[in-house]
Amino acid sequence: MNLYQVEMRGMDGSRWTEFITAETSVRAAMRAEEMFEAECLGSFLAEAPSEAATEDVEYGDGMTDAEADADTLRSAGMGTDEDYGYYGSDDDY
């Protein structure tokens, strides 16, 4: 979602500015016209999206997708010694 500045004109000819959050400038204009029952004269981005907002955010510990998948499968109960009762000693329990 982006913040758009929308220029409006009322039925009496008065003009004003509204700030609308929307996905596109067209949707911002449509939303403003519906909300204020007035004519939209134009809409444009009120602020450019920050670089951080446009980048994919990586969560986790920095593993690649393949490494994360391997780590998930490794601990999913298929083949780890701990799943079968071995914890590193030769003692029988």
Q: Kind and range of the H or E element at 69?
A: helix 65-74
**pLDDT for residue 32 is more than 80:** yes
Return the beta strands (E) in the chain as ranges. Answer: 2-9, 15-22, 39-45
pLDDT at 70 (0 to 100): 78
Please state, in angstroms and as integers, the Cα–Cα distance from residue 9 to each residue in 3, 13, 27, 42, 45, following that order.
19, 6, 17, 10, 19
What integer is the mean pLDDT of 48-73? Answer: 67
pLDDT at 34 (0 to 100): 93
Work out the percent of the chain whose per-residue pLDDT is above 70: 63
Is pTM, for the whole model, over 0.75?
A: no
